[in-house]
Amino acid sequence: MKVIPAIDIMGGSVVRLVKGDAKDKIVYSDDPAGTAKRWEASGRRHAACG
């Protein structure tokens, strides 16, 4: 099984929408690039890497 990560960005923050509702969101970080870099540094690979 291949897991493909997604980082949702809204208003410059990394967020998760609760049941797809933009008014009901969880903010995880104000640094989307840093979030992506931490994911990569952890050894995970993105879908384009195969």
- Spatial neighbors of 14 by CB under 8 A, at least 6 apart, are 7, 8, 27, 28, 29, 30, 31, 32, 35
Average pLDDT of 34-43? 86
In this prediction the pTM is: 0.64
Which amino acid belongs to residue 14?
Answer: V
Structure tokens at 5: 């990560």
Pairwise CA distance, residues 30 & 48, whole Å? 25
Residue of 4 and 38 predicted with greater confidence: 38
pLDDT score of 40: 83
pLDDT score of 36: 84
- Spatial neighbors of 40 by CB under 8 A, at least 6 apart, are 46
